Amino acid sequence: MKKERNQLKILLIQIREDEETQREELNEFVRYGELQSEQFTVINAFETPFFAPEQAAEYDAVFVGGSSDATVRDPKSYPFVHSIAGVLKFALDKDIPVLASCFGFQIAAEFMGGKVILDKPNMEMGTFDIELTDAAKNDVIFHDTPNPFVAVCGHKERATSIPEGTTLLASSKICPFHAFKFNGKRFYAFQFHPEVSTEDLIERITRYRDRYFDRPEQLDEMKAAVRPSGEAQKIIKKFIDRILLV
In SS3 terms, 137-175 reads as HHCCCCCCCCCCEEEEEEECEEEEECCCCEEEEEECCCC
Q: Which of 28, 155, 157, 193 is catalytic?
A: 193
For residue 208, the model assigns a pLDDT of: 81
Contacts of 167 (CB under 8 A, 6+ apart): 133, 135, 139, 180, 181, 183
Residue 123 has φ and ψ, to the nearest 5°, of: -60, 135
Asked if 195 is an active-site residue, the reply is yes
Judged on CB neighbours under 10 Å (0-12, 13-18, 19+), 138 is exposed
CATH topology for 5-244 is Rossmann fold (3.40.50)
Residue 161 has φ and ψ, to the nearest 5°, of: -160, 160
**CB neighbours (10 Å) of residue 245?**
14
For residue 169, the model assigns a pLDDT of: 99
Asked if 102 is an active-site residue, the reply is yes
Q: Can you say whether the dihedral through the CA atoms of 69, 233, 142, 5 is positive or negative?
A: positive
Give the sheet arrangement for strand 98-101, strand by strand: 40-44, 10-14, 61-64, 98-101, 187-190, 179-182, 166-171, 124-132, 149-155
For residue 146, the model assigns a pLDDT of: 98
- Spatial distance between the Cα atoms of 219 and 122, rounded to a whole number of angstroms: 16
Q: Which of 25, 102, 155, 175 is catalytic?
A: 102
For the entire predicted model, the pTM comes to: 0.95
| Ordered per-residue pLDDT tens for the chain, 246 residues | 789 999 999 999 999 999 999 999 999 999 999 999 999 999 999 999 999 999 999 999 999 999 989 999 999 999 999 999 999 999 999 999 999 999 999 999 999 999 999 998 998 989 999 999 999 999 999 999 999 999 999 999 999 999 999 999 999 999 999 999 999 999 999 999 999 999 999 988 888 888 778 888 888 998 899 999 999 999 999 999 999 999
- Spatial distance between the Cα atoms of 57 and 206, rounded to a whole number of angstroms: 37
- Spatial distance between the Cα atoms of 37 and 237, rounded to a whole number of angstroms: 15
Q: Which of 25, 28, 110, 195 is catalytic?
A: 195
**CB neighbours (10 Å) of residue 125?**
20
- Spatial distance between the Cα atoms of 63 and 13, rounded to a whole number of angstroms: 6
The type of residue at 164 is E
